[in-house]
Amino acid sequence: MKLTIFAATGGIGRQLFEQAIAAGHDVTAVARNPRSLTGAARLVAADLTAADPAVLASAVDGSDAVLSGLGPRKPRSEAGITSRGTKAILTAMQTTGVRRIVVVSAAPIGTVPSPGRPNPPKHDPGDGFFMRHLGSRFARTMFSAHYADLAVMEDLVRESGLDWTISRPPQLTDKPLTGTYRTAYGQNIRGGTHASRANVAHHMLAVIEQPSAIKQVIGIAD
């Protein structure tokens, strides 16, 4: 399968890249500085904060699917990058006729207001007592600008007209790939407080060819 991976040097993006290469996919990797990546792949340098539309169109043209691990490396200082970068990716896909995209978001986003969802539910249906009353409130306070941007990003993806899937993991870890994790459509995972970047990437790659995952938000946790 021909895949284009954005933010391929980031935490989840590098896992997507390495696992896709290992699985034998034909990979185009897009990053600000992709020279640190090794493997049989096409490397494209692009800064999604000010992307050249022609470069992004070339990166996605002919791909079977696009995967995005885009997100700020420093959430408090780079809020806005995810929505801006995702908008550029979606435009490139619409220009070239590529339809399948899988993006990563975050577990608390289901309760974060956005222009497209001004009145979200107060609680995610998958959250237990702790997350409902303490955990999610703390997370939203700590990362409010980042989460607001992710909520806008999700709006853009939903409104794109493409065949999208949104992955919503909780706190990310660098634990190794196990391939064992829990998922749920349309809600978070009860008691799911962590997910390894490797397992999130594994699931994102797995859902590419699952018709049931199209136009779905999927919670995931180890």
Q: Which residues pair with 122 in a beta bridge?
A: none
In this structure, which amino acid lies at residue 176? P
Compute the average pLDDT of residues 94-113. Answer: 95
pLDDT range class, residue 218, cuts 50, 70, 90: very high
- Pick the closest to residue 181 from 147, 207, 158 (CA basis): 207
pLDDT given for residue 77 in this prediction: 56
List Cβ neighbours of 145 (8 Å cut-off, separation of 6 or more).
75, 76, 79, 80
pLDDT tens per residue, range 60-80: 999 999 999 998 665 555 668
Domains in the chain, please, with CATH?
2-221 (3.40.50.720)
Whole-model pTM: value is 0.91
Q: Residue 42 and residue 222: Cα distance in Å, rounded?
A: 31
> Do residues 93 and 162 lie in contact, with contact meaning Cβ atoms separated by under 8 Å?
yes
Secondary structure (DSSP) of 140-199: HHHTHHHHHHHHHHHHHHHTT-SEEEEEE-SEEE-PPP-S--EEEETS--TT--EEEHHH
Q: Which two tokens stand for residue 96?
A: 């070239």
How many Å is the maximal CA-CA distance in the chain?
48
Q: Pick the residue with more confidence: 6 or 148?
A: 6
Render pLDDT for 142-191 as a digit per residue (tens, 0 to 9).
Answer: 557 888 999 999 999 999 999 999 999 999 999 999 999 999 999 999 88
